[in-house]
Amino acid sequence: EQGLLAPISPMLILPEVTSPKSWLDQRLPLFDKDGTIFCYFSQVIPPVIYNSSMVKEGQITSYLDLLKPEWKGKMVMFDPTINGSASFWSAGLTQELGVEKANEFLSALVKQQEVMVTRDMGQQMEWVTRGKYQLALFPQTPAVTQYLQAGAPISAAAFREMTLVSYSNGGLAVPKYPPHHNAIAVFINWYLSKEGQALAVKYMGAPSMRIDVPPEGVNPMFVIKPRQKFLFQTEELNQNTGKWMDAWKKIFNQSRG
């Protein structure tokens, strides 16, 4: 908003970078309408992580499954009233279902299913790993990754309605008045090339938006599946999240009583 960032497109030179065919969804993954942020990761945000020793694969395939009686009192949810994966998912559901239907679902989680709400992402995953709760709703990806690497008995469930894809920490921006314009251009074009993105995937552990860079070493739960309906995080979705969050605060503040 302060005009500190420059549009990135004028700096893109290599054909393998400028071609929309190189990128997922056949378009340059620019986050904002002004084109100042180029997003190069495409990380799936699992809506549900479950204790695989207590929950069977396939028990949850829809957000509506979470309202079944068997899950009452067995779910811990990351707080959607602060920025994070839960607010992202709440916004995604709101965009797909409409405000009224999405808020009805969130209210049912609180009133009908007695979901526990936490702002501690490590505590959420620890509770599910130890079996205090069976399901973690909309957990934070860093905590999920940490527990996966530690060998925790956890797996991911996906909703058939849609999958949310975040750019995670894969955003690239350029200052409006860079001290070394040409050097920045050289770096950006290399980093967004197949070679640069292969290294980014290897060392940062997230799948690339480039369709010619395989997600080697990335846990499959974070990778878009073939024919999977997905919704990207966008500038518009972020802006709408702020508008919708007041209703979510009312719903979840009531739950804290």
Residue 216 Cα distances to 39, 95, 136, angstroms: 19, 32, 26
- For 192-203, what is each residue's pLDDT tens digit? 999 999 999 999
What pLDDT is stored for residue 209 in this prediction? Answer: 96
pTM over 0.85? The answer is: yes
> Is it the case that residue 256 has pLDDT exceeding 80?
no
- For 210-237, what is each residue's pLDDT tens digit? 999 999 999 999 999 888 888 888 899 9
Name the band, by pLDDT with cuts 50, 70 and 90, for residue 131: very high
Single-letter amino acid code for the residue at 157 = A
> Is it the case that residue 125 has pLDDT exceeding 50?
yes
What pLDDT is stored for residue 254 in this prediction? Answer: 63
Residues belonging to the chain: 257
State the CB neighbour count (10 A cutoff) for residue 22: 21
What pLDDT is stored for residue 106 in this prediction? Answer: 96
What pLDDT is stored for residue 159 in this prediction? Answer: 93
Which residue carries 């797996």 as its tokens?
155
- For 20-59, what is each residue's pLDDT tens digit? 999 998 999 999 999 999 999 999 999 999 999 999 999 9
State the CB neighbour count (10 A cutoff) for residue 150: 10
Average pLDDT over residues 77-106: 95
What pLDDT is stored for residue 164 in this prediction? Answer: 93
> Is it the case that residue 255 has pLDDT exceeding 70?
no
Tokens of 155: 């797996």
For the chain, where are the E strands, in sequence order? 5-6, 37-39, 43-44, 48-51, 75-78, 116-118, 135-137, 154-157, 163-166, 171-175, 230-232
Among the listed residues 54, 12, 1, the one whose alpha carbon sits nearest the alpha carbon of residue 188: 12
What pLDDT is stored for residue 257 in this prediction? Answer: 43
Contact 40, 197 (CB under 8 A): yes
Which has the minimum average pLDDT: 66-75, 147-156, 166-175? 166-175
Which has the minimum average pLDDT: 4-8, 64-68, 196-200, 250-254? 250-254
